[in-house]
Amino acid sequence: MATPHWLTSYTELSSTVVKKSTALYPDPPSFNKEIILNTKTKHGKEILGPTPEERDTLKVKKAWEIALSPSKSLPMNAIMSYFSGSSLQIFSLTMTFMLFSNPAKAIANVGPTFVRYESESTFSRILQAKLVFIALQLATIAVGVWKMGSMGVLPTKRSDWLAWENETPVLEKGVFVP
C-alpha cells in the first residue's frame, strides 16, 4: 500500500493551498508567511533555537527555582510544628522526624539535584544556588531542633548531663480530684 502524499510531504505547503487560503480569509495580525514557507526569521537567519548564553541563563534560572523551593515549605513546617503541640505524641514525633530526615536526604542529594544544570560556564552561579539550597535545608533542620526543644527532648539543663546533679523541681502539678 502506497503512503499518501499528504503524509510524506506534510511540511511542504503547495502554492494552491496558500492561494486558496489567502483568497478566502485575510491573514491574522503579525502573521508572516515567510517564516512558515522559508523557515527564516525576519532577519534572514535560520531558526536554530536558543544561543548557548541563553541556554546557560535558562539553566541558572531553573537552578535558582530549585534552590528556593525549600523556602516555600519552611513557613508551613514551622506553623505545623507550632500547632502540633509540645507533648510527646505520635504525630509530633513523626513530624519532628520528618523535619530532620527530609532535609538530610536533600542535602545528601545536592549533586544529583543540580547536575543537569551545571556546565563550565555556569559552575559559579550554580554553586551559589547550591549553597542557598543547603542553607534553606539547614533552616528546616533548625525548625526541627526548636520543636525538639519545645517538647523537652533536648538535654538543655545541667541535670540532663551530670548524674550527681538534682533535677529541677517541678513548680506545679496537676492532680485529679473526683
Residue-wise pLDDT for 57-86, tens only, equals 999 999 999 999 999 999 999 999 999 888
DSSP string, 79-111: HHHHHT-SS--HHHHHHHHHHHHHHHHHHHTHH
Three cell numbers, residue 114:
543540580
* Same domain? 99 vs 124: yes
* Same domain? 99 vs 147: yes
Percent of the chain with pLDDT over 70: 78
User: Is the model's pLDDT at 47 over the cut of 90?
Assistant: no
Contacts of 81 (CB under 8 A, 6+ apart): 95, 96, 99, 143, 144, 146, 147, 150
Q: What is the pLDDT of residue 22?
A: 57
* Same domain? 37 vs 77: no
Give me the domain span that covers residue 38.
13-48
* Same domain? 61 vs 148: yes
Q: What is the pLDDT of residue 6?
A: 59
**Which pTM was predicted?**
0.65
Q: What is the pLDDT of residue 12?
A: 55
Q: Comparing 72 with 30, which gets the higher pLDDT?
A: 72
Structural domain contains residue 161: no
* Same domain? 96 vs 147: yes
Structural domain contains residue 87: yes
* Same domain? 113 vs 77: yes
DSSP letter for 119, please: -
* Same domain? 34 vs 122: no
* Same domain? 42 vs 81: no
Structural domain contains residue 23: yes
* Same domain? 39 vs 69: no
Structural domain contains residue 114: yes
